Structure 1
């Protein structure tokens, strides 16, 4: 009988240890579950933030629908940006009236090289912008000669105005195309 009691005590002790291990595993599983819930919440928040950033970028791009960017036009002291933009449009074969221009100014950039800031031209109607971009595609080799600038003539370009995010995306796309055509 005493031998059976000893065996029962041993079984009781083993059962107690087994219960402790099960509790410990249960606690660890609870902690893993909490961690997973936290990770899922963080992922959902990151997704929401990315979605909001994309919406904000889309809205900012919509605000630029009536703008074009003239690059390659040297910056000079005392310049009249509207006059320069209208002269560039005339070189493209478009007769813009000052009433079709909302405003024109040099772009604000983080990095600035001497004379490298673009002119930003805001137009009253999107169809005028489209006509200007279309004319710029047809006449690609225009220079600043005859615009009344003191600097030496050099090529100027007219492009869509893009948000910083979209400009970066375009840059990356061009880099990718360059790598792909190089390997082809």
Structure 2
């Protein structure tokens, strides 16, 4: 028993050393935990901020889409489409539109026209369709009032044909 009592201080010292090592490791783990906790809080804050930023970006994209749609609609208010006029090689669309306006009884100056193009892919004239080579002509006018005058004249003169317009094909109705 005396021997055991003599060895008790040695065992106690060894136990104290082990507790000291464990305390040091626990302190080190607490420090690491504190750093990780700060990082998690930072990431959570950034995530909620990015969600708010994403929501505002989505709202901005929707606003811009709406604005583009409104602009497209405004541009359509000055456009006019003329169909069923045969396409010819080296044609002058500006001259054709001027002739169409004259045929409808509307005076159309060159400065009233912003652009004139045939829309769609180029059709093969050798096709055996009913109307080969009749891509529509799209005219963008400078003012909506000119477009409205042309549309009103076209309504009044529904039966007008291409006769006398100087086109090489046989006369036919245009719309």
Normalised to the residue count of structure 1, the TM-score between the two structures is 0.50
- Residues 116 and 140 of structure 2 are in contact (CA less than 8 Å); yes or no, is this contact kept in structure 1? no
Tell me, what secondary structure is at the counterpart of 2:82? strand
Tell me, what secondary structure is at the counterpart of 2:139? strand
Distance 1:71 1:26, change over 3 A: farther
Unpaired runs of 5+ in structure 1? 158-184
Q: 93, 105, 117: which one pairs with 1:95?
A: 105
Q: 105, 120, 140: which one pairs with 2:138?
A: 120
Normalised to the residue count of structure 2, the TM-score between the two structures is 0.52
**Counterpart of 1:150?**
168
**Counterpart of 2:117?**
107
- Residues 117 and 138 of structure 2 are in contact (CA less than 8 Å); yes or no, is this contact kept in structure 1? yes
Tell me, what secondary structure is at the counterpart of 2:87? coil
Which 4+ stretches in 1 moved above 6 angstroms? Answer: 137-140, 152-155
- Residues 106 and 153 of structure 2 are in contact (CA less than 8 Å); yes or no, is this contact kept in structure 1? no
How far apart in 1 are the matches of 2:24 and 2:156? Answer: 92
- Residues 112 and 146 of structure 2 are in contact (CA less than 8 Å); yes or no, is this contact kept in structure 1? no
Tell me, what secondary structure is at the counterpart of 1:107? strand
**Counterpart of 2:35?**
23
Unpaired runs of 5+ in structure 2? 1-11, 124-132
| 1:84 and 2:117 correspond | no
How far apart in 2 are the matches of 1:130 and 1:89? Answer: 12
Q: CA RMSD in A?
A: 4.5
Q: How many residues align?
A: 153
Q: 1:145 offset after TM fit, Å? A: 5.0
How far apart in 1 are the matches of 2:59 and 2:150? Answer: 38
- Residues 116 and 138 of structure 2 are in contact (CA less than 8 Å); yes or no, is this contact kept in structure 1? yes
Deviates more, 1:129-138 or 1:68-77: 129-138
- Residues 103 and 121 of structure 1 are in contact (CA less than 8 Å); yes or no, is this contact kept in structure 2? yes
